[in-house]
Chain A
Amino acid sequence: MMKNDGGVILFWLLLLFTLYARGKSYSVPGKPTLTRCRSPEKETFTCWWEPSSDGGLPTTYKLYYRKEDSSDVEYECQDYRTGGKNSCFFNKNYTSIWVNYNITIVAINALGQTFSDPVDIDVYYIVEPNPPENLNVTIQNDKGWPFLRASWDPPKKADTRSGWITLIYELRIKLEEEDEWEIRDVGQQKVFNIYGLQSEGTYVVQIRCRPDHGFWSEWSADVQVKVPNYLRRNRSTWIMIIVFSAVVFLILSWLLHINSRNLKHCLLPPVPGPKIKGFDKKLHKSGKSLDAFKSLDVPDFPHHTFSKSEDLLVEFIEVYVPEEQELMLEKSNDLHDGCLKSESSVSDCDSGRGSCDSHTLLLDKSGQQTDTQDSQIDEQRLGEDLQDEKLSYAHQDMVSPDMSAGRVKTWPSVFSPLPQNRSTSADQASSLEMAKQHCLSDSLLPSEFLTSYHSLSGHGTRDHLGSNYWEFNFGNKRPNLTQPQTEARHQAHSEINIFTTGVKAEPTALKFPTPRSSDYVEVQRVNEEDSIVLRPVGSNYDKHFEIQQGEEYSRVKGVDSDNVLLLLQKEAMEEEMDMCPCEQLSGTTEAHYTKFSTSPEKPTAYTHPTPQPLEERVVNGYVDTATMFTMPPY
């Protein structure tokens, strides 16, 4: 009895002692909580819990669960070890994907037990796979630009082969020294390429995966890879490019420098001011137009300029002849006859024969040249425009009121098989060419003229002219053949007559009927027959030229009331040069011819001062077509 009492007392003393010794109070354990449950492959799962206070006493934990379909039966966890401390592992036999689990943790100690809150688990939604395995990153080469290729395997436990679990992957990469990761979504594939690498950088790569309904796995282990240096090749390429472009630039600048002048002209073409050689603007502005025009005079014009045959370039100006007169003229013309006939007279031109009809000394041409220019030009009635228009205007004023409105007609070339085709040029004074009138009709009245002026352009050779005129002829021909001078023809002529004289062609190559040498002639004297004896100036440049040496003269047609000698233009043969000083400008011709006439008189009735220079020209036996241009248009 004493022992029993002593034992009990001892027990209680011990208990009290322990209590006091620890300085604590003992209690039932705290409420544990289920922290997480995970299934790595949807076939098993593990749950972990967190214990709370143990109440100072040794506490054990138990896990109880119920299954949804048999909720009255409570099961206990079979495996507390596999998952570690405070865990419960459900193996395959105990895992069902069809039912939910209701799990409760119980903490038991000497004083009592505490239940945790129950948790429902659906195995489908707690899948957290293991990280992917065998991550392998290699450097691949794509034409000198390297890239990384990462490949991996799914975690072993996850059954992706049969489709039991579908995993999607995520990769992250960063340079070794950086802190920020760059994340790339990969999808379901197991290979991934990474481009845009830094040369000579070291990269760190990781991978993780997730089922379609589930949690992300942990990141796999690091894989390091070093990118080789690939920039050097690029650098050399850049150097080459720079050198090449520098060379090209140098070449271009050198070329520019050489052609700077040309370029300047090309890019900034100088604006041509109106300019006539020798024309003094100031004089003109000052009102002394005559002086201004005088200054244009080239004193030794015919002599010098005709020094070379190449300089001779005949240009034609068409002088318009009124239709009726033309018709008449046509009738009376022969093919080689470049004579103009006025309506009032029956021309008796024998152009090309080297003489003009003496009794038809109608010099309606003012200051016209009888000079023979290049043979090609000779007696061509290539119409020309416009400057002659002025002449014709003047002519008109002087000669006849009937004259058509100053249009210049041009004759077709003599050497063409054309009938006398006179074409009137359009009323445009654009061309610088003057047709030389080769023939003066006997009955040239003031009212009608075909005058063609030749002018030396100074360019081109006879040969050119030949070709030119050939073309002219054809042009002329067409309209001429069709109708008597119609407007169209005139226009056609005018078109044709606007002909540059700068063309160089070989007369020999052309079927040039007869190139005429066009030389200038000087009036030597007037013989007793009232013929003017002319002397060619310059001479035989023209090989084709078979001119009658010696005297050539033009017949004086007659003298009009004003004491003006009207000369017939000498109709030359094809080879002959036109010796007739056929001038178109009646007014001026009159003026000029008064000089030649036996009864010289002052020039009469100038309507405008411009013909004066012509007068002077005529002194030389030549009319400078340039001066014609200065005549104001009517």
Chain B
Amino acid sequence: MHTRVLHQSLWALLLWPHLFAVSAPLDCRDDPASLARCPSISQEKLLDRVIHHAELIYRVSEESCSLFEEMFIPLPLRLQTNQGGYACITKSLPIPSSKSEIQQLSDKWLLHSVLLLVQSWIEPLVYLQMTLDRYDHAPDMLLNKTKWVSEKLISLEQGVVVLMKKMLDEGTMTTAYSEQGAFQYDVQLDILESIMRDYTLLTCFKKDAHKMETFLKLLKCRQTDKYNCA
């Protein structure tokens, strides 16, 4: 009995600061020096993280696209706009693309659009990863980047879901959209067409990533200053 009490008291003395720390779980201090105390992450922080995520995804996708372009696409074929044979897969999605349309969307629909975009890109990126592996001279950096992007996209999806739960107080299904099936895994194309399709994929994803980032930033802006956001 004495020894047990002694042990416990000794441990109490040693872990004195931790005792206080642990014993205050509701104290939501943003103090990195101690263990996290908040039971849940605040909405602003979550939104910030999501935005940060989206920014990174866009940046890396831009880098991958330019890398791919340099490696595989001859100059005359470099498309700045989405012309050519392959349209973006997300063209069919009900996502606004003009500034005025975007401004008319409510917060809820902004988030929904983001989620839609994210979810619709998960599978194609996985596919892209597979096809790039088959290339002869694909540089490692390109592969790593695309892999990174696909991973982060999944993470982003989770984040957006959590955010939606917090902001809109609603739960959503993670895979709500069945347009995934529209994407066709066509492996019969010749090399040039395959390359062109991949290139189209990358450029489209780059644009959509930028869209996601923009939506989220607009959302954040609305949180702070509702009437002054563009």
Contacts and interface: CB of A to CB of B under 8 A. Distances in A.
Interface stretch (B32-40, B113-121, B191-199, B215-223): B32-40
A125 B38 CA distance: 11
A117 interface: yes
A27 interface: yes
Contacts of B46: 98
A122 interface: yes
A122 B11 contact: no
A120 interface: yes
At the interface, is chain B mostly helix, strand, loop or mixed? helix
A34 interface: yes
B159 A97 contact: yes
B23 interface: yes
Interface in B10-66: 11, 15, 18, 22-23, 25, 30-33, 35-41, 45-46, 49-50, 55-56, 59-60
B39 A119 contact: no
A124 B30 CA distance: 10
A128 B168 CA distance: 33
B162 A98 contact: yes
Indicate the member of B3, B38, B163 with the most A CB atoms within 10 Å: B38
B99 interface: no
A36 B32 CA distance: 12
Contacts of B31: 125
Interface in A167-215: 213-215
A37 B4 contact: no
Contact of B11 (A25, A33, A92, A120): A33
Contacts of B60: 162
A524 B7 CA distance: 148
A305 interface: no
A125 B32 contact: yes
A498 to B, nearest CB: 90
A30 B4 contact: yes
Given A53-B7, A99-B162, A124-B49, A162 B59 contact: yes
A214 B30 CA distance: 11
A interface bracket (residues with beta carbon within 8 Å of B): 35 or more
Nearest to A55: B4
Nearest to B14: A50
B165 interface: yes
Interface string A86-110: 0000001000111110100000000
A32 to B, nearest CB: 10
B148 interface: yes
Contacts of B22: 33-34, 117-119
B35 to A, nearest CB: 5
A98 B41 contact: yes
A30 B159 contact: no
A214 B41 contact: no
B8 A35 contact: no
Nearest to B3: A53
Interface string B158-191: 1100110100000000000000000000000000
B122 to A, nearest CB: 15
21 contacts: A30-B7, A31-B8, A34-B22, A34-B35, A37-B35, A52-B7, A53-B3, A53-B7, A53-B8, A68-B40, A96-B158, A98-B46, A98-B50, A98-B158, A98-B159, A118-B22, A124-B45, A125-B36, A162-B56, A162-B148, A213-B30
10 pairs of A and B residues whose beta carbons are closest in the complex: A122-B36, A98-B162, A98-B159, A125-B32, A117-B22, A53-B7, A68-B40, A120-B36, A121-B36, A163-B56
Interface of A: 25, 27, 30-31, 33-37, 50, 52-53, 68-69, 92, 96-100, 102, 117-122, 124-126, 162-164, 213-215
